Structure 1
Amino acid sequence: MEADQEPPGAVGAVNIKKAPPPETSESIWTRRLVILSFWTVVLLFGLPVWYKTTTVYRAALPLQAMNDWADGKICRPVFPLRIAIDAPSLPHQDAQHLLRTTQHALDDLNEFSAHHLRLLLSEPSTPSNASQKMTMDLDSSNSVSKGHLHDEDIALTVRMLPGSYTPTLDVYYTPNQIPSSSSTSSPLATFVAYELQRVFAEEQAQLAHLLSSSATSQTGQVKSLSKDDAVRLARQTTRSFKYAPTYHLTFSLFTPVAVPSAWEIRSALEEYISPLLESLSPISNFTVDTQVQLYAKFSHSFHEPEYDTSLKAWTLQKEELSAFVNAAEWPLSPSIGVGPTINFVLYVPAENQSPLVVKETGGSSWLIPQWGGVQILNSGTLKSTLSREDLQPAMLTFSHQLMSLLGVPHAPVSLPMRLSTLTRVRAASLLFSASSTLGSLARLTQALQSIAIPDTVAQAVDTTIEHLYRACNELREGRFATALESARIAEAEAEKAFFERSMVGQVYFPDEHKVAVYLPLLGPIAVPLVMTAIKELKSTYKRWRAA
């Protein structure tokens, strides 16, 4: 047995693990510098680049101004209508006094401060100013100011003519009806005031209903309406189309048989519809097309007409009128043209179902809200071609239906005055709509901080606010045509800003999606860096305690 060999049964030797050699200060600082360099790159370069490339650009918007417009704090719309008093046979002093007393009577009658009538005295032309028309404007403080006004700025001219009274737009009077200079009122002034109030009563009701349904309504500005007027105006608003710069009109001839196969629609439109469209052109533009559809059958769900012996006619049930138009098979596309499509259907029934009327009313035409109108042409013997004279009743019906669908008021009788009223109503509605859209956009951008706001949106908002100011000022000055144009631009720019494609797309990419995308990428990088930094901090702390 060797001397160094352990005897049997002896305990084995214990293996002692050698400790690593102590780190030099140079290696410690090298490791610290490596870790520090990684964190420096991450903090000073990686995070800024990541933030810059992933941050959603949000252009600055005038949120306070947008909310103020939506809440009606900036613009209080008013509608001053200038009424010219033309009294050439009256002395100037008497005409001025009549104007003042009439204005006082008007102010006493008016309960709607936003819509007020301002009387102007039209002076007769003199040799020195024969090419100019001077008017005198009496404001609410009874101060008279002079200035030049265009003819389109005058809503109505009242001519005072001596003689007996007849029910026309002219006002006839007798010499003994002229108020004395010391009187504060007169029957003639009260009569003129009542007549003017009656002429513009429908317009006041429409504007009051429009203001009451908008955010700009203020105490004392909105005129109270009766329940019947409120229901009637609400029905009229529901029936008419929303304002659009361009409308597309489609005139369609439908028949269940082979005749009539043609119609003189071009000449009929030129004679009966084109003059109306020309009158409406300052408010909206119109495009027109026509079509003929033979063998146009009713839908299977439509209840067939029944013969009524008392009326001696085929009848349609009133509740079935909504299903009269076979939208599935009749070529009536609602997306033709640039703007909304207004359909006018002329239906010529077969001879074995003529005449065809509505049972409850006995009429042959009806209006479909926000769609168009239908006219049944009961011509008796069918002809292969409908002449212009045959189409006259239908074209006149379509013209009335078109005005109803566009929101033209029913009073007064004068069409130019009704269109002037429509101009003011449309200008106010567009101003309110654009203001409401600005408020919705401001609330959207404040609620969703992650959506992008490109510069185009900020530019559109600035343009909207600029034209809203213009429209409001032009309404106050009584320039309603230019106010409508400014309000139209404001509405278009507001809609453009609200429905910006690049902004709307961000609504459907919330923060949770961002976490799901970045976590798998940044996790493998962040864990080693964080754990190494924590380990080095602990090691440094131990060395500090040991020292």
Structure 2
Amino acid sequence: RTSIASRYETVYRSTTAQEEAALNVATAQEADAALCPLQDASLGSLTVYVVPETSSVLPQGISVYVGKHRSALVRAGGSLVTLRARLRQLTQVMSFTASSIATALSDRMPDSQLSPDARRHLKSSLGTDTCPSPIPWPRGKPSGSADPKSHDVDWDIEDAVNRYVQPVLDKLSLVANFSVDSQILYYAVLGVTPRFDKETSSFILSAHSLPHVINPVEARLGSSAASLYPVLNFLLYVPERSHSPLYIQDKDGAPVSTNAFHSPRWGGIMVYNVEAPGSPQASLPLHVDVDMVRVMEVFLAQLRLLFGLSREELPPDFLLESPGNEGLADWELDRLLWAHTVENIATVSTTLTSLAQLLDKIGNIVIKDDVASEVYRAVASAQSAMAKLATGHLHSAFQASKEAVTSSERAFFDPSLLHLLYFPDDQKFAIYIPLFLPMAVPILLSLAKIVREARQRKKEPTKMD
């Protein structure tokens, strides 16, 4: 059974002269940028500035402004009760919540109790190319699927990755190591036949047919087979002329604005329609320059969802600042680290419990000293992570949880244990019985004959001379 208790430590103080000067600006965005160098930069911390009711730094009708760093502005309000309610709502937005913890512990909860967001996010995993890590390592696979006879698709994927994707990956460097690959697939098959809509003169992909789209394309990617770690695929599909334009509909039959969909823990696909030639005599193939800004907006939004960075429902008087080119705010990174730390600790507990159950089942197993050392190290690191998590030291808690996962996985998958795991006692009987049974049958028959002869000799009367 798993239970988690949350505790918030609140410290009140008056603003400094520098903070007062930073708050005397025209907009909340300027105040957030000016306050950032003056704040506590430690992971997991949160600074809330209570501004007067008449302050003009917050827009009209806005009571709470959430910046893209680790600070927020709250209008004082009419009473302490109102202020306390706003602070409670703000904490739920910028810190971890019961739903985020439940998502991290989704492996220990029944599927019926999980929200769609909990099923969507990518699970933590060990290993990267450079060093062991308990954090997922997505490998982006943008790919265009077009008919080269009709479309000459040109996309500057390298510039798009450097401009839009790399800032997000740099921000997530604490969480994961990334490798981004790209490829172009020609003559890709959807696996389903789009339905033609006469009213709009377009082809439609309904929501119930979307799961059948992934398998045929995934078989040609080969990224999952080539990587030891979790892979996220982001595909750009350019439909062929015979099925163009192609649009995606949701469950209610309404068109999807982004013309894209995503699959939990797999990735996303975006359908990119190109304009038809102006005249039937137009020369083919038609040159197509992909709008990478529109494509990357969709892919980055899907990446956020797959990492569990969905936005909470906000009250109407809350204003949430966009993270900009970095893709996620500092406080969102903290929420991600909270969730991954809890998930790592739960993973260590599950792994060591499975190892203990394995040792109970196999009585003749021999535990080497290095395996025992890894188990002790995993337990010590997990205890350290929980202790640091309780005191709010998020970064050190996260690092300790990674070490705990690494040690527990090394102990469980030690080569000295694997051969016993795959060679239990029942397989020994299956191997040795065919060898010894042919020899045992004549031996047993001979013993039975000897026993019968001995009994017969005992029954015969003894002759007396």
Give the structure-1-normalised TM-score: 0.60
Partner of 1:274: 166
Q: Is the 8 A contact 2:237 2:272 kept in 1?
A: yes
- Quote how far apart the aligned CAs of 1:261 are: 3.8
CA deviation string 1:237-259 (max 9, x = no partner) = 22222113322221111113442
Quote the Cα distance in structure 1 between the aligned partners of 2:219 and 2:384. 48
Find the partner of 1:190 among 58, 64, 84: 84
Find the partner of 2:383 among 459, 465, 469: 469
Partner of 2:99: 205
Quote the Cα distance in structure 2 between the aligned partners of 1:195 and 1:261. 48
- Quote how far apart the aligned CAs of 1:123 are: 5.0
In structure 2, do the counterparts of structure 1 residues 288 and 210 end up closer, same or farther at CA, with 3 Å as the change threshold? closer
In structure 2, do the counterparts of structure 1 residues 260 and 118 end up closer, same or farther at CA, with 3 Å as the change threshold? farther
- Quote how far apart the aligned CAs of 1:347 are: 0.4
Structure 1 outlier segments of 4+, above 6 Å: 517-520
1:384 aligns to 2:291 (yes or no): no
Find the partner of 1:287 among 179, 183, 187: 179
Give ranges in structure 1 of 5+ residues lacking alignment: 1-70, 78-113, 128-148, 180-185, 216-226, 524-547
Q: Is the 8 A contact 1:314 1:353 kept in 2?
A: yes
Find the partner of 1:336 among 226, 239, 255: 226
CA deviation string 1:304-352 (max 9, x = no partner) = 2222123332111322211223247633431333421111110011344
Partner of 1:354: 244
Task: Report which of the two structures shows the higher radius of gyration computed on alpha carbons.
Answer: 1
Q: Is the 8 A contact 1:457 1:500 kept in 2?
A: yes
- Quote how far apart the aligned CAs of 1:374 are: 0.2
- Quote how far apart the aligned CAs of 1:482 are: 2.0
State the secondary structure of the residue aligned to 1:289: coil
Partner of 1:90: none
Greater mean alpha carbon deviation, residues 378-387 or residues 287-296: 378-387
Count of matched residue pairs: 366
1:408 aligns to 2:312 (yes or no): no
State the secondary structure of the residue aligned to 2:255: coil
State the secondary structure of the residue aligned to 1:296: coil
In structure 2, do the counterparts of structure 1 residues 309 and 436 end up closer, same or farther at CA, with 3 Å as the change threshold? same
State the secondary structure of the residue aligned to 2:224: coil
Greater mean alpha carbon deviation, residues 375-384 or residues 230-239: 230-239
In structure 2, do the counterparts of structure 1 residues 296 and 336 end up closer, same or farther at CA, with 3 Å as the change threshold? same
- Quote how far apart the aligned CAs of 1:479 are: 1.3
- Quote how far apart the aligned CAs of 1:120 are: 1.7
Partner of 1:374: 269
Q: Which amino acid aligns with 1:460?
A: E
In structure 2, do the counterparts of structure 1 residues 406 and 116 end up closer, same or farther at CA, with 3 Å as the change threshold? same
Q: Which amino acid aligns with 1:280?
A: L
Q: Is the 8 A contact 1:164 1:173 kept in 2?
A: no
1:472-491 to structure 2, matched below 5 A, reads 472-491=386-405
Partner of 1:492: 406
1:322 aligns to 2:218 (yes or no): no
In structure 2, do the counterparts of structure 1 residues 288 and 455 end up closer, same or farther at CA, with 3 Å as the change threshold? same
Partner of 1:99: none
Find the partner of 1:307 among 196, 201, 205: 196
In structure 2, do the counterparts of structure 1 residues 261 and 211 end up closer, same or farther at CA, with 3 Å as the change threshold? closer
Q: Is the 8 A contact 1:202 1:409 kept in 2?
A: no
Q: Which amino acid aligns with 1:457?
A: V
CA deviation string 1:19-78 (max 9, x = no partner) = xxxxxxxxxxxxxxxxxxxxxxxxxxxxxxxxxxxxxxxxxxxxxxxxxxxx66xxx75x
Q: Is the 8 A contact 2:44 2:393 kept in 1?
A: no
Partner of 2:23: none
Quote the Cα distance in structure 1 between the aligned partners of 2:375 and 2:92. 40
Quote the Cα distance in structure 1 between the aligned partners of 2:381 and 2:101. 21
Partner of 1:234: 115
Quote the Cα distance in structure 1 between the aligned partners of 2:166 and 2:221. 24
CA deviation string 1:241-293 (max 9, x = no partner) = 21133222211111134423431011111222112112211111110000112
Find the partner of 1:394 among 273, 280, 295: 295
Quote the Cα distance in structure 2 between the aligned partners of 1:338 and 1:213. 21
Find the partner of 1:157 among 43, 47, 50: 47
Find the partner of 1:440 among 354, 371, 374: 354
Q: Is the 8 A contact 1:162 1:173 kept in 2?
A: yes
Give ranges in structure 2 of 5+ residues lacking alignment: 19-38, 66-71, 126-134, 278-285, 315-319, 322-327, 441-465
